[in-house]
Structure 1
Amino acid sequence: MPKDLEKIVIKVGTATLSSSDSNSAININVVENLTNVISKLKESGHKVVLVTSGAVALGIKRLSLSKKPKTILEKQVAAAVGQALLMQTYESYFSKHGIPIAQILLTREGFVQREIYINARETILEMLNMDILPVINENDAVASEEIRFGDNDMLSAMVSDLISADRLIILTDAEGLYDTNPKENKNAKLINLVEKITPQIEKMAQGAGSEFSMGGMISKIQAAKLATSVGIKTHILYGGKPEKILNLLNLSTSESQNLGTTFLPGSDKIEKRKSWIAHTLIAAGKIYVDSGAQKAILDNGKSLLPAGIKKVAGNFERGSGVDICLVDLNSPFAKGITNYGRAELEKIIGLKSADIEKALGYTYGDTVIHRDDLVVLR
Structure 2
Amino acid sequence: MADLPTRVVFKLGSSTLVAGDGSPDLGLIASVCDQVAELVARGVGVVIVSSGAVAAGMGRLAVKERPRDIPGLQACASAGQAALTEAYAVELARHGVACGQVLLTRRDVTDRDGYLNARNTLQRLLELGAVPVVNENDTVSVAEFAFGDNDTLGAIVATLVSADLYVILSDVDGLYTANPQEDPDARLVPLVRELTPEIAAMAGGSTSSVGTGGMAAKLRAARASVAAGIPLVICRGREEGVLLRAACEEGVGTRFEPGEGSHEGARKLWIGLAEVVRGTLVLDDGARRAVVESGASVLPVGVLRAEGEFEAGDVVNVVGADGALVGRGVTRYSSDEMARVHGLRLDVIARFMPEKDGQPAIHRDELLVL
Query: Cα–Cα, structure 1 residues 100 and 146, in superposed 2: closer, same or farther, change >3 Å?
Result: closer
Query: 2: CA distance between counterparts of 1:34 and 1:4?
Result: 17
- The SS at the match of 1:97 is coil
Written as runs of structure 1 = structure 2, the 5 A alignment for 1:243-322 is: 243-250=241-248, 259-268=252-261, 272-273=264-265
Match of 1:188 among 172, 186, 189: 186
User: Among residues 170, 173, 187, which one is paired with 2:171 in the alignment?
Assistant: 173
Distance 1:193 1:159, change over 3 A: same
The structure 1 segments of at least 4 consecutive aligned residues displaced by more than 6 Å after TM superposition are 274-277
Secondary structure of 2:94 counterpart: helix
Query: Aligned residue for 1:73?
Result: 71
SS at match of 2:194: coil
Q: What's the % identity of the aligned pairs?
A: 36
The aligned length equals: 267
The corresponding residue for 1:91 is 89
Gapped regions of structure 2 (runs ≥ 5): 270-370
Cα distance change on mapping 1:92 and 1:146 into 2, 3 Å: closer
Report the CA distance between 1:272 and its aligned residue: 3.5
Query: 2:7 is matched with which residue?
Result: 7
Distance 2:163 2:5 in 1: 11
Q: 1:268-326: per-residue Cα shift (whole Å, max 9, x none)?
A: 56x5438979xxxxxxxxxxxxxxxxxxxxxxxxxxxxxxxxxxxxxxxxxxxxxxxxx
Give the conservation status (yes or no) of the 8 Å contact 2:105–2:144. no
For the residues of structure 2 that align with 1:16 and 1:115, how far apart are their CA atoms?
A: 33
Secondary structure of the equivalent of 1:207? coil
Query: Any idea what the Cα deviations from partners look like across 1:189-210, whole Å, max 9, x if unmatched?
Result: 0000000111211110122241
Is the Cα contact below 8 Å between 2:66 and 2:210 reproduced in 1? yes
Instruction: Return the alpha-carbon distance in structure 2 between the equivalents of residues 90 and 126 of structure 1.
Output: 19
Instruction: Say whether 1:104 aligns with 2:85.
Output: no
Q: Is the 8 A contact 1:108 1:148 kept in 2?
A: no
Structure 1 40/123 Cα, relative in aligned 2: closer, same or farther at 3 Å? same
8 A contact 2:233–2:246 mirrored in 1: no
Q: Which letter maps to 1:264?
A: E
1:143 and 2:136 equivalent? no
2:157 corresponds, among 156, 159, 174, to: 159
Paired position in structure 1 for 2:47: 49
Instruction: Describe the superposition over 1:218-260 as per-residue Cα deviations: whole angstroms up to 9, x where unpaired.
Output: 1111111101111000000110126122223339xxxx7x610
Contact 2:138 2:144 in 1 (8 A): no
d(CA) in 2 for partners of 1:130 and 1:196? 37
Task: Mark the runs of 5 or more structure 1 residues left unpaired by the alignment.
Answer: 278-378
Structure-1 residue corresponding to 2:358: none
Residue 126 of structure 1, CA deviation? 0.6
- AA of the residue aligned to 1:216: G
Alpha-carbon deviation of 1:267? 4.6
**The structure with more radius of gyration:** 1
TM-score by structure 2 length? 0.68
Report the alpha carbon displacement of residue 146 of structure 1 after superposing the two structures with TM.
7.2
- 1:16 is the counterpart of 2:2: no
Partner of 2:275: none
Q: Deviations over 1:93-121 (max 9, x none)?
A: 11101111111000121112111111110
Q: Secondary structure at the match of 1:121?
A: helix
1-side partners of 2:10 and 2:226: how far apart?
15
- C-alpha contact 1:107 1:147 (8 A) present in aligned 2: no
How far apart, CA to CA, are the structure 1 residues paired with 2:198 and 2:126?
Answer: 38
Q: Deviations over 1:164-205 (max 9, x none)?
A: 211100000000000000111122100000001112111101
Distance 1:129 1:7 in 2: 11
Shift of 1:145: 3.3
Partner of 1:222: 220
Please state how far the C-alpha of 1:86 moved relative to its aligned partner.
0.8
Partner in structure 1 of residue 351 of structure 2:
none
Once residues 146 and 133 of structure 1 are traced to their aligned partners in structure 2, the CA distance between those partners, rounded to angstroms, is 23
Match in the other structure for 1:361: none
Tell me: CA distance 1:274–1:154, structure 2 relative to 1, closer, same or farther (3 Å): closer
